[in-house]
Chain A
Amino acid sequence: MADIDYQDRIPNNVDLSSDKRLQRALESWQPDFLNWWTEMGPEGFQQDQVYLRTAVSVDKDGWAQFGHVKMPDYRWGIFLTPFEGERKVNFGDHQGEPAWQAVPGEHRYTLQRIIVTQGDTEPASVEQQRKLGHTCPSLYDLRNLFQVNVEEGRHLWAMVYLLQRYFGRDGREEAEALLERRSGNPDSPRILGAFNEPCDHWLSFFCFTTFTDRDGKYQLRALAESGFDPLARTCNFMLTEEAHHMFVGQTGIQRILQKAAERMKQGDPRDFGAIPIDMVQRAINFWYSVSLDLFGGEDSSNAASFFGAGLKGRDRETELSEHTGLDQAYTLRKFSPDGRASDVEVPLRRAMNEVLRDAYIGDCEKVIASWNRTLDKEGCDMRLTLPDRKFHRAQGVYAGLNFDPHGNFVSAADWEARKSAWIPSLDDTAYLHSIMNKPHYVAGEYADWIAPPARGINGHALDFEYVLFATPRI
């Protein structure tokens, strides 16, 4: 089972050929997916050979193989971590019962909603990033962008598999709808806010892959605990791939900082077409805060019922000592419209979104620390910080209130006066577009605003032809 069946049109380790009904459903969805990919995937590079990794096994070591491939020919497939026969529901009201191998009817719509919401983010990010290739800072980065894109596509397949395999006609309709919504489209937007934000330059891309994909990591970790076993196994394998996306983001920002610090020794980084560190901080402030919104309300009846029903657990739930979440409280700091703070006790189950957000914040702190080590190593005194969780929130109890990056309550007038120091301004965007105004298609060449990576991909050199163009590019 661990090996991928490449005899099928759709590579898989779920024995698709023995399930004709599912095979038929997926094979009829596949052309729609390819149409979507052609229309909404990376613009202008569909004929080029990209050095991509493709999942070939679900083994911990060596699950991928590398090779040049045209993106539309990428073998998107369905991979689950292998079946553990004895798995149980590990938390909530059904704790200790056998994990569900089929959708429990009473949780059908809840589960479907969870999967659709997760699934919707995958094509959304591809759509958000579809024009970035034209301003790539190097072939190495161009390849990384496409690697992230095809794997987001594969994650969409994973969710569609669950919908089609387990949710009947409704599931098929939802699978279609995943291809019909469009990031940023006013008529049929993607479900979650951050996935409708424009991601039209590479600083946004690196922030997105650092912070927004990291939300994805924590959502997947919570779902990997699910009592619905196929979802848990799907998410487990997706986490393997997600790690690379965060690597792309984290090292991308790190290289930008490295370049900025180098230039600061010589003067204002702007004079050299590099990105000033305060501008990076504003981008972090923005993408981190919109990503925090993705976790949902701090005090949430949905979160309580997802947990109680055993559908969505906490980060590393199985490593915790207590799994009911009952008779415990979470202290939540709330603010009145005029800024008076008060602490309220929320039953722990209702605060599960906040519990997951805490884990995410801890992880983000480590990322900031690693970037600051880079600055330190480059002899730069400036330091990046993670804004307070209350800063710039559009969802939850802090939405509609204004806080500075330290978490101090500020008036609406203060916010307006100072926001250009805190979140990216139009000037920032204009500057970034001015320095990211052309692609760098020559192997081994890097844009002025980013340092080359420490090493290449799969042991290759930095000047390896990570993308082979079908027609020569200027």
Chain B
Amino acid sequence: MTITSFETHPDRYHHWKLSFDGDVATLAMDVQEDDGTGKPYELKLNSYDISVDIELADAVTRLRFEHPEVRTVVVTSAKDRIFCAGANIPMLASSPHAFKVNFCRFTNETRLGIEDASATAGQRYLAAVNGTASGGGYELAIACDEIVLVDDRSSAVSLPEVPLLGVLPGTGGLTRVVDKRKVRRDLADCFSSLAEGVRGKRAVDWRLVDATYRLSQFKAGVAKHARALAEGSPMPEGAAPITWAPLEVEVGPDSGRRYRWVDLALEPEGRRATITVRVPDAVGPTTVEGVRALGAAWWPLAAFRALDDALLHLRFNHLHIGTVLLRTAGDGDVVSGFDDVLEALRDDWFVGEVRHFIRRALKRVDVTAKTFFALGDRGSAFVGTLLELALAADRFFLLDDPEEEVWVGTTAQNGGCYPMGNGLTRLATRFLGEPDAVTRALEVAGRRLTTQDADGLGLCTFAPDDIDWDDEIRIALEERASFSPDALTGMEANLRFAGPETLETKIFGRLSAWQNWIFQRPNAVGPNGALKAFGQPTAATFSWERT
């Protein structure tokens, strides 16, 4: 199943209606059962598939850039008595494993994007649950800051995955119930095994929702909450919007992608791809007015948007690519210059949003289940923001060049601008056991570091010289390509996130890992597994072994 584009526009949304009323936006879910794309399933009861979530992701990001006036986003349903029934079960049951994994990862990223918008952009999210919210529907609601539930004596919130489907509420559901909503674990246990869910006062008592309103008062109740959230938002007044213009990309006959500043080249025979981020010749504008005038075309944003898009294509459309080489091309001093602008103008709303976008795109690298090797040779520019790519990689090969044409550098951006899901910078995560190494790496910010310097600072993994470079890289790639892709995915995911647990690391490291395990098990996907049996005349049969 190929996804031709991860981009869309509100004018083309099939499943959502975006409307505005002053500083409150409403994102109303109105999923079309058949959107005309020939799907082998019907999206009944506001259930969603990837196409629904791509639109949601577009809306969440677009609102940040195009609607800085919005302080509260109300997520609701345009349908009667149903908020959202979650991910479409026939879709999940009929999807190959890899697609299920990709789908869940993307939807998780989208929900984390909602929380990120609230935490870093000050765009608060309110779930106006005007009907039953089950499974992924409730998971969408708890990604919002607040949940108000209609009290019509029938609408409930529920996580029926375990009792009905034999899988988990894997889009953050279990994690957020206890970690974010802080529902007592025994009550959470009851809630998560109760197919019909919880409604009314009990839902409030159990902290599953923040308030309930009778049907007649629901609209007013929602408005009240929306207002209160907007009042608490730190979003600046009068920010001029940026047009979230479509990405321009040329797609080659081999599905390689050439964006303005990023190339994605595919080498299917070696099961690898190369992402090259190119750097402009000059920094260009250094004022707020100057960079805002460029908007989405400003290099730091354009480059990381393209990277983000390339990663999604790699994940969904190139399952056989196991290793991604990260390269940079251009003048490191220019990157350093861009970082100076990103730092000097950090208090500006737009520049801040660009920094946040880059942070999210880098996190997309962190949770992509492919090997990343960064390659720094002549003409590379692993400096500051682009050095983060090398630090996000599983290994960083840096050419030991006697001419010292190869250099890397840290900037202030490496010191806290782009924290990972674990809340630490990539430098702090890298040097968990030697905090002084973080200090040392940041003390030399702005300086050209030769390969020897970088090696001494622990910034690169290997520093082969000219003699060894080609062979070392070739052998490392061939070796990597020979390992079990499953074992590599598990190994990398375990090694990338040293340090503290957060909601985010728990979702990707614990919830997703268990969900993906269950997705492979006969109790879920076997001929009589619960996921397959759902809606069928015969009940699921289980293997009863537990350890």
Q: Which of A102-110, A208-216, A238-246, A464-472 interfaces with chain B?
A: A102-110
A168 at the interface (CB under 8 A from B): yes
Contacts known (A105-B480, A105-B481, A105-B482); A21 close to B467, Cβ less than 8 A: yes
State whether B482 touches A106 (Cβ < 8 A). Answer: yes
Interchain nearest-CB distance for A163 vs B (Å): 12
* Contact across chains for B471 and A25 when beta carbons are under 8 A apart: no
Q: Compute how far the CA of A169 lies from the CA of B468 in the bound complex, rounded to whole angstroms.
A: 7
Please determine whether B479 and A102 come into contact, CB atoms closer than 8 angstroms.
no
The complex places the Cα of A103 from the Cα of B483 at a distance, in Å, of 16
A106 near B468 with CB under 8 A, answer no
Specify the main secondary structure of chain A where it touches its partner: helix
User: Is B10 located at the chain interface by the 8 A CB criterion?
Assistant: no
Bound state CA distance, A105 and B475, in angstroms? 4
B472 within 8 Å of A (CB atoms): yes
In the docked arrangement, what's the CA distance between A83 and B318, Å? 39
Closest 8 CB pairs of A and B: A105-B478, A106-B482, A21-B467, A105-B479, A105-B475, A168-B468, A168-B472, A108-B475
**Other-chain contact of A168, B471, B477, B481, B483 (Cβ < 8 Å):** B471
Q: A105-B480, A106-B481 are in contact. Are A168 and B466 (CB under 8 A)?
A: no
Q: Which A-chain residue is minimally distant from B483 (CB atoms)? A: A106
Residue interface bits A136-174, CB-to-B below 8 A is 1, else 0: 000000000000000000000000000000111100000
CB-CB nearest in chain A for B463 = A169
The answer to whether A106 touches B478, judged by C-beta atoms less than 8 angstroms apart, is yes
Taking the complex as formed, is A24 at the interface, i.e. its CB lies under 8 A from any CB of chain B? yes
User: Nearest chain A CB to B542's CB is how many angstroms away?
Assistant: 36
Selected contact of B471 from candidates A24, A102, A106, A109, CB within 8 Å? A102
| Residue from B462, B464, B471, B476 within 8 A of A166 (CB atoms) | B471
For the complex formed, measure the closest distance between the CB of A437 and the CB atoms of chain B, giving whole angstroms. Answer: 52
Say yes or no: B479 contacts A169, CB within 8 Å.
no
Q: Which of A24-41 contact B (CB under 8 A)?
A: 24-25
- Chain A residue nearest to B471 in the complex (CB): A168
Residues of A within 8 A of B (CB): 21, 24-25, 102-109, 166-169
Contact B467 A106 (CB under 8 A): no
The answer, yes or no, to whether B474 is at the interface (CB within 8 Å) is: yes
- Most chain A CB neighbours (cut-off 10 Å) among B471, B477, B482: B471
Q: Provided the pairs A24-B467, A168-B468, A169-B464 are in contact, do residues A108 and B479 lie with their beta carbons within 8 angstroms?
A: yes
- Name the one of B462, B467, B479 contacting A25, with C-beta atoms under 8 angstroms: B467
Interface residues of B in 442-501 (CB under 8 A from A): 462, 464, 466-468, 471-472, 474-483
Using Cβ atoms and an 8 Å threshold, which residues of chain A touch B477?
A: 105
Given A102-B471, A105-B477, A108-B475, check contact A168 B482 (CB 8 Å). no
Q: Which residues of A contact B471 (CB under 8 A)?
A: 102-103, 166, 168
CA distance A25 to B466 in the complex (A): 12
Please, which residues of chain B bring their CB within 8 A of the CB of A167? 475
**Contact A21 B475, beta carbon cutoff 8 Å:** no
- Kindly state the separation between the CA atoms of A167 and B477 in the bound complex, as whole angstroms: 14
Question: Smallest distance from the beta carbon of A305 to chain B beta carbons, Å?
Answer: 12
Q: How far is the CA of A21 from the CA of B472 in the complex (A)?
A: 14
Closest A residue to B467 by CB, please name it.
A21
Q: How far is the CA of A103 from the CA of B477 in the complex (A)?
A: 12
By beta carbon, the residue of chain A nearest B475 is A105
Output the least CB separation between A427 and chain B (Å).
54
CB distance from A115 to the nearest CB of B (A): 14
Whether the Cβ atoms of A21 and B466 lie closer than 8 Å is yes
Q: Output the least CB separation between B153 and chain A (Å).
A: 63
Most chain A CB inside 10 Å of its own CB: which residue of B479, B480, B481, B483: B479
Nearest CB in chain B: distance from A449 CB, A: 53
In the assembled complex, which residues on chain A have CB atoms less than 8 Å from the CB atom of B482?
105-107
Q: Which residue of B lies closest to A165 (CB)?
A: B471
Cα(A108)–Cα(B483), bound, Å: 12
CB-based nearest A residue for B474: A105
A168-B471, A168-B472, A169-B472 known; A106 vs B479 contact (CB < 8 Å): yes
Q: A104-B478, A105-B477 are in contact. List 10 more A-B contacts (CB 8 A).
A: A21-B468, A25-B467, A102-B474, A105-B475, A105-B476, A105-B478, A166-B471, A169-B464, A169-B468, A169-B472
Across the interface, which residues of B come within 8 angstroms of A107, CB to CB?
A: 482
22 interchain pairs (CB within 8 A)?
A: A21-B466, A21-B467, A21-B468, A25-B467, A102-B471, A102-B474, A103-B471, A103-B475, A105-B474, A105-B475, A105-B478, A105-B481, A106-B482, A106-B483, A108-B475, A108-B478, A108-B479, A168-B464, A168-B471, A168-B472, A168-B475, A169-B464
